[in-house]
Amino acid sequence: MKPQLLQALSLLLIPSVYGAPASRSNEGNPPLRGPQSLIGYSESNTITDKSTDEGIKYTLVPGQKDDADDGIYFDFETADNPQLIRGSTGGTDPGPRNEYYDRINSDKLAPPGTDEGQTINAQWPMGLSHNRLGKDGSGWARQENTVVMPDATRMAGVDMRLEAGGYRELHWHVAAEWSLVLNGSCRIQAVNENGETFVDDVSEGDVWFFPPGIPHSIQALDTGVEFLLVFDDGSFSEDNTFLASEVFAHQPKEVLAKDLGVPVAAFDDIPEDELYIFPGTPAPKDIQEQNVTTSSGQIKGYSYHFSEQPAHEVAGGSVKIIDPVSFPVANNFSAAVVTVKPGGMREIHWHPTSDEWTFFIKGAGRATLFSAPSTATTFDYRAGDVGYFPQSNSHYIENTGDGDLVFLEVLQADKFTDVALGQWIASNPRQIVQDTLNLSNKTISSLKTEKQYVVAGSSPTSIEN
């Protein structure tokens, strides 16, 4: 048989790479794949003459045509089709695009001209974290760690909610746990390695700390509670804690009976699976009913009623600091709750001994992370977002909303410290500053040798045209 005839028969019997012969039911329907004649140049190729700008209608917000290095914040939330334009740079975007993300991340869409390259990803919205739901409507938990922020290696965080009466099961973990109560109230309990017991009720603004390996539990009071947990290991996962239910489930019952001095039948009804977050009997109003005292006595140092500490007022807002100087048991956790008034800014600073893990509690803000020698990226943050700024990398946090901005800074340090850009420059000999930065005498004279923490500013510009 001739080779040409064999090839023709094979095309009839074997499905082609570019689509099998059409069956009668598919007559007129194009095959799944096109012919090889579409590869590369052909005189029959057609090129569209439709402009990609056709139909794009937009309105620039105030300041959008100003010099890109001015870096003015753009509020795109109510803008008409925000575009990737800043000063003379950028251009239009015909799509596809996720306009919602563009609107709330204007400094990604149209970054300041002072940005350069790409730093680490210093932003993670907890709203994008997978939620772990508690049993029978008892609460939930979501976390941030190196799975979602690979460069946040020193600390990880968990946002947890317990409904009234809900428990975070008796447990312990390898990492140290530092917590800030975001709202509501709860009862916390622990027993340390010496057999000393601890119980306390904490409310919004209060802090607790449990060292590694110390077993503890948390139960929401009648108000319910939401709290933030920060751990001293960026790879920490809430899914890998040591739970009482799992400890009992994975010991031979004969061993449990021998260890606790009870019959094997005592364990017939222990949980078959972990509880983690679950509903429970409401805690008694009188905390003394749960104040177990052993021969070892009690320990009182695992909580700090930070809510009762007055804030230190500054020009642009306020600062509250808690660190081992005032809360010794948390020997490597230092933190500040910072409030920035509209138009104000947490001054440009860096932490010489620690990374900074930041949680945004209220409002909207932005920060530029600067990494040596010349990389800078600006990020926009909302309530519920996590920020992360590596050791000695400078940054500020500016209030970009029309209400107060409140956030938490956490360090792995035995004292809360930072270096402020303004104080550093102001504290140098004038001639050195002039020779280096070409600043005028008038400008240098206006600099402050005292740390400002938060500087005041004018309210954000209206987005109306």
Find the CATH number of the domain harbouring 338. 2.60.120.10
194 shares a domain with 90: no
pLDDT at 465: 29
pLDDT at 417: 97
- 304, 338, 366 - which closes a domain: 304
* Site of tokens 């510009």: 461
CA–CA separation, 76 vs 85, rounded Å? 12
Does 238 carry a binding-site annotation?
A: no
pLDDT at 461: 43
247 shares a domain with 172: yes
CA–CA separation, 195 vs 297, rounded Å? 8
Report if residue 64 sits inside a domain: yes
Domain total in the chain: 3
Report if residue 14 sits inside a domain: no
pTM above 0.85, yes or no: yes
Does 349 carry a binding-site annotation?
A: yes
428 shares a domain with 346: yes
Q: 10 Å Cβ neighbour count for 321? A: 20
Residue 86 host element (H or E): strand 84-86
Select from 385, 125, 90 the least CA-distant residue to 82: 90
Report if residue 3 sits inside a domain: no
- Peptide bond preceding 96: is omega within 30 degrees of 0, i.e. cis? yes
440 shares a domain with 345: yes
Structural domain of 100: 55-114
- 75, 92, 114 - which closes a domain: 114
Q: List the structure tokens of 36.
A: 């090889």
Report if residue 39 sits inside a domain: no
pLDDT at 200: 97
Select from 349, 361, 352 the least CA-distant residue to 386: 361
Select from 142, 187, 215 the least CA-distant residue to 280: 187
89 shares a domain with 233: no
pLDDT at 25: 64
315 shares a domain with 295: no
pLDDT at 458: 66
pLDDT at 47: 87
Report if residue 43 sits inside a domain: no
pLDDT at 99: 92
pLDDT at 460: 43
Report if residue 28 sits inside a domain: no
- The per-residue pLDDT for range 69-98, each reduced to its tens digit, is 999 999 999 998 999 999 999 999 998 999
Does 171 carry a binding-site annotation?
A: yes
In the predicted model, residues of the chain with pLDDT beneath 70 are 1-25, 458-465
pLDDT at 21: 52
**Marked catalytic residue, from 204, 409, 450, 464:** 409
Does 312 carry a binding-site annotation?
A: no
pLDDT at 462: 35
**Residue 409 appears among annotated catalytic residues:** yes
Does 305 carry a binding-site annotation?
A: no
64 shares a domain with 197: no
